[in-house]
Structure 1
Amino acid sequence: MNQLVRMSQIGDAEQIAEPSAELRVPFAKSGAFVCKFIIGEPNDAAICCGAPVADGKSWCAFHRRIVFEPTRPGRIR
């Protein structure tokens, strides 16, 4: 049986663990240097990941791998 595999799953040298649910905070109360990845539905009561980010990005390493898919070599645009 064929299965759909994301390019990001192929050749992963290191696995990044999902951040703890204890870090989650309401989006409206999230400050600087925390992951802004929305968990669930984006509405007035949105909850974001809240994991610390030290590199000034909007998402932690775990969620960045979900948001961005690496380009494949030889892909025609």
Structure 2
Amino acid sequence: MNQLVRMSQIGEAETIKEPSAELRVPFAQSGAFVCKFIIGEPTERAICCGAPVQDGKSWCASHRRIVFEPTRPGRIR
């Protein structure tokens, strides 16, 4: 599933910092309001980013820009 990104938002992505490693939690213990981006290999002992998320999203702003690729003009779907 692609996410639409406005051109004005592309410059904002460069200013987002990587979340602190201190926030990381095991995936099985991650709550409803933390980033579920898996750090490293996805195993039964996977570690999530753990940074706070907004609006019920699954990933923090930093990892959302990795997960979703901006659409390009003229791209055929």
TM-score, length-scaled by structure 2: 0.81
The runs of at least 4 aligned residues of structure 1 exceeding 6 Å deviation read: none
| Cα displacement (A) at 1:26 | 0.2
The corresponding residue for 2:63 is 63
RMSD: 1.2
| Cα displacement (A) at 1:75 | 1.2
Question: Which structure would you say has the larger Rg?
Answer: 1
Distance 1:22 1:71 in 2: 33
The corresponding residue for 1:50 is 50
Identity %: 84
Pair 1:37 & 2:37 matched: yes
User: 1:11-48: per-residue Cα shift (whole Å, max 9, x none)?
Assistant: 52451000000000000000110000000000011000
Any gaps of 5 or more consecutive residues in structure 1?
1-10
User: Larger relative CO (CA 8 A, sep 6+): 1 or 2?
Assistant: 2
For 1:42, give the aligned amino acid. Answer: P
| Cα displacement (A) at 1:76 | 2.1
Q: Which has more helix, going by share of residues? A: 2
Any gaps of 5 or more consecutive residues in structure 2?
1-9
TM-score, length-scaled by structure 1: 0.81
